A and B are shown apart, each in its own frame.
Chain A
Amino acid sequence: MITITKPKPFEEIKQYLKRSKGVYLVGCGTCATMLHTGGKSEVLSMKDKLEAEGKKVTGWMVIPTGCDPLAGKALETKADDINAADSILVMSCSFEVQTVRLYSPNKSVYPALDTMFIGKEERPGYFAEVCLQCGSCILGRTAAICPLVRCAKLLFNGPCGGSVGGKCEVDPGTPCGWQQIIDRLTTLGQLDQLEEIEPVKDWSTSVSGGPRQITFEL
């Protein structure tokens, strides 16, 4: 599993930092390093770009795993450099942006990347979304392929009329998720499973239900 990110337009980043006198940069040693969006070299080139714009960069670090609670400890080790800045620019996924926010109550925290999706590398260099965390998983009825992220219309009961040659009507480069589900069920000899009508979805367990949280007895 990997969180897929892509760089935001530099103009947008400049807007965020308009009022900042000093900026501290944070990258991530895991997903963002692997994708070349927020590893050491990207952080250093961002530093150059910001300095070329006249911004003061007070320091930088690449946290080994930015979404981990240890990120807090890592930030403490550089407290002086961070305190010299008034904002922190995070070159990682939204998890790290919000982790840094949690440990930096007095600093403005901004994202330098767009967090796109949680994906899986299905063949070298090809990442596809696997799950949107809907909270009521239907994979058990769809050959373990998620139609919510693999079908452009989030259909629950089979392919739309635009599925042609295994491709989605929305983009000829994108596989039709329902073709994939049908192919797999055919291989498994379980295509009859699709005869049942999938009931309407309970979206209340998803974003429609409001902020999601849970407390575990530890």
Chain B
Amino acid sequence: MKAGTNLEKVLESGQFAVTAEAGPPKGTNPDVIRKRGELLRSGCDAVNITDNQTAIVRMSSLAGCILLKQMGVEPVMQMVVRDRNRLALQSDVLGGVAFGIGNFLCLSGDHQKFGNHPTARGVFDIDSIQLIQMLKKMRDEKKFLGGDDISGEAPLFIGAAENPFADPFEYRVHRLAKKIKAGVDFIQTQAVYDVARFAQWMKMVTEMGLDKQVHILAGVIPIKSAGMARYMKSSVPGVSVPDSIVTRMAGTKNAKEEGVNIILEIIGQIRQIPGVHGVHIMAVGWEEIVPDIVGRAGLLPRPKL
């Protein structure tokens, strides 16, 4: 075991893992996190806390993870390289470990242009692959990137994202291989709507034997309305939504129910694809639906390890 987190145990035991995502508030109220943690507690193995997602300032991921930890819910601490340099990233990892956080997710982050401070300077001191490498060094060598020794242990279960729907498509799998080389332990993918393309990507992944070296969790985002389907299709960089889904969402009276049906179908198909080790449900602002989805997908109760 690298960090001995619940997520790591579930994945290492070979069971199909479930993670979910919770966004921190645009403010100071800790109850927002607590409420989301309570909703997600029984429906998944770990909860990601986003880090200034879409470049909009929110309560820090570290604080959100501590709040989850205090209520006995396992966090995944997301970290983007957009807002912090190598010093700040490492000190946040130390702080996270001090509070018992073991899962860390290394991301580039959406460009600051998309957020509420579009004129900010993007830090981008190191990139997400170098962040993975840095965390691995902290864990395995107990050394900072600069070479100094770290006092105490740094047990980290290192995650990253990958987007099978971005371009150049053929290169994507090589980028995954690069992340594995850097030391990543698990991957949460961008939301899968186009299952055929995802399956094609997974085929390349398994052909290269990469599924044996990293745990891949397929991302899903439940769609609430026809408007959201159209927005996801047209405005979210790197998300590919087939027309059939937009049409289905437009043609239904009960959009929420249809959205859940679609996600359940996608999860069902994903589970058939060799090499997929779990699902990551990003129900942004619709956390209450997650236990329902997980239950109807036949993934409850979650294992107690």
Residues of A that sit less than 8 Å from B by CB: 152-166, 169-170, 176, 179, 182-183, 191, 194-195, 197-201, 203
State how many angstroms separate the Cβ of A156 from the closest Cβ of chain B: 5
Q: A158-B171, A159-B167, A200-B86 are in contact. Are A164 and B238 (CB under 8 A)?
A: yes
Report chain A residues within 8 Å CB of B109: 153
B113 part of interface (Cβ distance < 8 Å): yes
Which residues of chain A are near B127, meaning CB under 8 Å?
Answer: 153-157
Q: Mark B162-191, 1 if CB is under 8 A from A, else 0.
A: 110011100100110110011000000010
- B135 close to A (CB within 8 Å): no
Q: Using A155-B127, A161-B190, A162-B238 as known contacts, say yes or no to A170 and B178 having CB atoms under 8 A apart.
A: no
Q: Which of B130, B237, B238 touches A157 (beta carbons < 8 Å)?
A: B130
Chain A nearest CB, measured from B216 CB (Å)? 15
Q: How many residues of B contact A (CB 8 A)?
A: 34
On chain A, the residues within 8 Å of B140 by CB distance are none
B186-210 interface bits toward A, Cβ cutoff 8 Å, 1 = contact, 0 = none = 0000100000000000000000000
Q: Which of B4-12, B58-66, B68-76, B118-126 lies at the binding interface?
A: B118-126
* A169–B57 alpha-carbon span in the complex (Å): 20
B111 & A158 in contact (Cβ 8 Å cutoff): no
Q: By the criterion CB–CB under 8 Å, are B181 and A197 in contact?
A: yes
Of A157, A179, A198, which is in contact with the most chain B CB atoms at under 10 Å from its CB?
Answer: A157
Leading 7 A-B pairs by shortest Cβ distance: A161-B163, A162-B237, A169-B237, A154-B124, A157-B129, A161-B238, A155-B127
A156 touches B130 (CB 8 A): yes
By a CB distance below 8 angstroms, the chain B residues around A199 are 130
B163-A197 in contact (CB<8A): no
Given contacts A159-B171, A160-B108, A164-B237, contact A194 B178 (CB under 8 A): yes
**Within the assembled complex, what's the spacing in Å between the Cα atoms of A116 and B4?**
50
Contact for A159 among B86, B130, B168, B181, CB less than 8 A: B168
Q: List 29 A-B contacts (CB under 8 A).
A: A152-B113, A153-B122, A153-B124, A155-B124, A156-B126, A156-B127, A156-B130, A157-B127, A157-B129, A161-B108, A161-B162, A161-B190, A162-B110, A162-B163, A162-B237, A163-B167, A163-B238, A164-B237, A164-B238, A165-B167, A182-B168, A182-B171, A183-B168, A194-B178, A195-B174, A195-B181, A200-B86, A201-B125, A203-B125
B161 within 8 A of A: yes
B175 partner residues in chain A, CB cutoff 8 A: 157-159
- In Å, the complex CA distance between A179 and B109 comes to 19
- The chain A residue sitting closest to B164, CB to CB, is A161
Residues of the B chain whose Cβ atoms lie less than 8 Å from the Cβ of A159: 166-168, 171, 175
B125 neighbours in A (Cβ, 8 Å): 200-201, 203
Does B82 have its Cβ within 8 Å of any Cβ on chain A? yes
The distance in angstroms between the C-alpha atoms of A159 and B173, with both chains bound, is: 12
Q: What B residues does A156 contact at CB under 8 A?
A: 126-127, 129-130
Residues in B neighbouring A200, C-beta threshold 8 A: 86, 125-126, 130, 134, 145
Q: What residue in chain A is nearest B181 (Cβ atoms)? A: A197
Residues of chain B lying within 8 A (CB to CB) of residue A201: 125-126
Which of the residues B82, B145, B182 comes within 8 Å of A197, measured between beta carbons? Answer: B182
Contacts of B166 in A (CB 8 A): 159-164
- Chain A residues with CB under 8 Å of B181's CB are 195, 197
Contact residues in B for A164 (Cβ distance below 8 Å): 166-167, 237-238
Give the shortest distance, in Å, between A205 (CB) and chain B (any CB). 14
A3–B108 CA distance with the chains assembled, in angstroms: 30
The smallest C-beta distance from A186 to any residue of chain B, in angstroms, reads 9
B167 in complex: contacting residue of A157, A170, A179, A194, CB < 8 Å: A179
Minimum CB–CB distance from A118 to chain B (whole Å) comes to 19
Complex Cα distance A200/B137, Å?
13
> What CA separation (Å) do A152 and B109 show in the bound complex?
11
B139 vs chain A, min Cβ distance (A): 17
A residues less than 8 Å from B82 (CB atoms):
153
Tell me the complex Cα distance, A176–B178, Å: 20
Residue B133, interface by CB 8 Å: yes
Candidate in A152, A160, A182, A201 with the most chain B CB atoms within 10 angstroms: A160
Among residues of A, the one whose C-beta sits closest to the C-beta of B133 is: A197
Q: Give Cα distance in the complex from A133 to B46, angstroms.
A: 44
Min CB gap A169→B, angstroms: 4
Chain B residues with CB under 8 Å of A176's CB are 167
Q: CB distance A197 to B124 under 8 Å?
A: no
Q: Give the shortest distance, in Å, between B117 (CB) and chain A (any CB).
A: 15
The listed residue (A183, A194, A197) touching B130 by CB distance below 8 A is: A197
Bound together, the chains give a CA A161 to CA B126 distance in angstroms of 16
Shortest Cβ distance from B32 into chain A, in angstroms? Answer: 27
Complex Cα–Cα for A49 and B24 (A) = 52
